[in-house]
Amino acid sequence: MTPDKQRPLRADAERNRRLIMDTADRLFAERGAVATLNEIAREAGVGVGTVYRRFPDLQALVDTLFTERFTTFLALAAAAEEHADPGQALRHYLLEAAQWRAGDRALDVILAHADLDARPLAGMRDELGRHVDGLVERAVAAGAVREDFASADVYAYLYMVGAVVDRTHDIAPDAWRRYAEVLMVGFGLEQAPTARTSAMTDAQIRLTWPSPSARLPAD
Amino acid sequence: MTPDKQRPLRADAERNRRLIMDTADRLFAERGAVATLNEIAREAGVGVGTVYRRFPDLQALVDTLFTERFTTFLALAAAAEEHADPGQALRHYLLEAAQWRAGDRALDVILAHADLDARPLAGMRDELGRHVDGLVERAVAAGAVREDFASADVYAYLYMVGAVVDRTHDIAPDAWRRYAEVLMVGFGLEQAPTARTSAMTDAQIRLTWPSPSARLPAD
DNA sequence: ACGCAAGCGGATAAATTTATCCGCTTAGTG
DNA sequence: CACTAAGCGGATAAATTTATCCGCTTGCGT
């Protein structure tokens, strides 16, 4: 067993590492697409070598960025479990998770390139799975949701809300709330269709259609 | 005004054009991502020049492929309007549209690269808009759906079902039906949560998480 | 069956992306 | 302070992608 007791990075190296991650993050958010490691280096004001030394390729950088975020995401699930009422707990989680998804501009890019089977991510995925299973089991047992509601529905919900978020970021930042509500009603988690958020206008929807300009935003 | 009366292509050229389009389609479907024009040429067994002569760049090819498909999509909307019952008409359209989305493996790739503002596509988009507006107005007037239901909700529905479809193509080809139903219930378009399609298993959901292998499928 | 506009193929140029190597600099220990 | 392991930068090589050009071939109207 090789003792991979890797000592901490030198202060300047750690500083650069952070700078590279923050720059990548900003770049991903600004353009809605990944940037090359060379671009990130230029933008961060460090040499390419410095980037490649720390992140062998784009995948490594993306996975690192995602690992950091995933920690927050896990915390949300843990926090939701605090609720005494199982229905509230699940509702709360679904709303917080969607909000997290909506509040992070770089996240869709990162998700599109992450590798959940890669090392520390796989463990976090499994831990998340346990939290979600718990939330779902309790809510179903309490009759707070359709009796056939399953963990898979939570992930599907996130995929669906994510799809709306990705297309409405810049157009109607709160549009996702309407569909989060619709889904919860559909899942029997909420009774009244209260329509807290109204539908997008035709002009707004128009902007969500596929177009190259929607893919390379600021310049 | 230049009379761009472009005479039909020579028979062999037309044949090649079709071959290129079909090959691109197949490649997109197989790999879940766009291929380069040179790859398409090689796979189709024609010279690169032949491809570039007909399609100046990838965008042109994608837009052409999408235009063809969009015709089908418009026909669905027109057919749905036949229903005497406005609720049935809308329900029927939502289901048919989702099914169309689910039944075409190359479609998500094409959608991700299409340019709806480009010429004949813009006109088709507007025509679709008129059909959808009609379906929605009639359904709302008849009280078959939530009174605040809007055209934007139809597009959002498609984005959401599309998100599920894209991740479950190869894993559970019918999974989207469950969420189409959930959304319809949430929109007040259907009363009973009948759960015709059950949720995916944990193992299936696992396969929908982001991973590079999910992006380059067969090899 | 002739003639030629239209079409074809694919070598190759240009641009972009990806990644390495190595001489110079510096943080941090003693 | 001095020494050295760790880190830095960026020129440049390798791989990939994108696109053009032009000599040869062929469909098809007469």
pLDDT tens track for A98-137? 999 999 999 999 999 999 999 899 999 999 999 999 999 9
Whether the CB-CB separation of B218 and B28 falls below 8 Å is answered with no
Query: Which residues, including other chains, have CB under 8 Å from residue A162's CB and lie 6 or more apart?
Result: A101, A108, A111, B163
Determine the pLDDT at residue A193.
65
Determine the pLDDT at residue A195.
65
Determine the pLDDT at residue A93.
98
Instruction: Answer yes or no: is A75 CB < 7 A from strand D.
Output: no
Test A148 with B184 for CB contact under 8 angstroms.
no
> Could you say which residues of chain B have pLDDT below 70?
1-6, 193-195, 216-219
Token representation of residue A52? 């490649």
Q: How many CB atoms lie within 10 A of CB A85?
A: 13
pLDDT tens track for B93-144? 999 999 999 999 999 999 999 999 998 999 999 999 999 999 999 999 999 9
**Of A194 and A157, which is predicted with more confidence?**
A157
Determine the pLDDT at residue B4.
46
Specify the length of chain A in residues.
Answer: 219
Token representation of residue B114? 């299409």
Q: Domains in chain A and their CATH numbers? A: 11-56 (1.10.10), 58-210 (1.10.357)
In angstroms, how far is the first alpha carbon of chain A from the final one?
50
Specify the length of chain B in residues.
Answer: 219
CA neighbor of B70 nearest in space, from B20, B12, B111: B111
| Amino acid at site A185 | V
CA neighbor of A179 nearest in space, from B83, B160, B100, B91: B160
CA distance B22 to B42: 13
Question: Using a CB-CB distance cutoff of 8 angstroms, which residues of chain B are in contact with residue A212?
Answer: 59, 115
Q: Is B3 on the interface with A (CB under 8 A)?
A: no
CA neighbor of A47 nearest in space, from A9, A28, A20, A22: A20
Determine the pLDDT at residue A213.
81
Determine the pLDDT at residue A5.
52
Q: Is B63 on the interface with A (CB under 8 A)?
A: no
The nucleotides of chain C lying under 7 Å from a protein CB are 6-12, 17-22, 26-28
- Which residue does chain B place closest to A150, by CA atoms? B199
Residue with tokens 């896990």: A74
Identify, with chain letter, the residue nearest to nucleotide D6 (CA–C1'): A10
- Which residue does chain B place closest to A189, by CA atoms? B186
pLDDT at A3 over 60: no
Average pLDDT over residues A136-145: 98
CA distance B84 to B99: 22
Determine the pLDDT at residue B196.
79
- The 3-state DSSP class for residue A6 equals coil
pLDDT at A66 over 50: yes
pLDDT tens track for A4-47? 456 789 999 999 999 999 999 999 999 999 999 999 999 999 99
Determine the pLDDT at residue A217.
45
Determine the pLDDT at residue A212.
84
Question: Using a CB-CB distance cutoff of 8 angstroms, which residues of chain B are in contact with residue A204?
Answer: 152
Q: What are phi and psi of B183, to 5 degrees?
A: -65, -40
Buried b (16+ CB within 10 A) or exposed e, A4-20: eeeeeeeeeeeebbebb
Q: Is B159 on the interface with A (CB under 8 A)?
A: yes
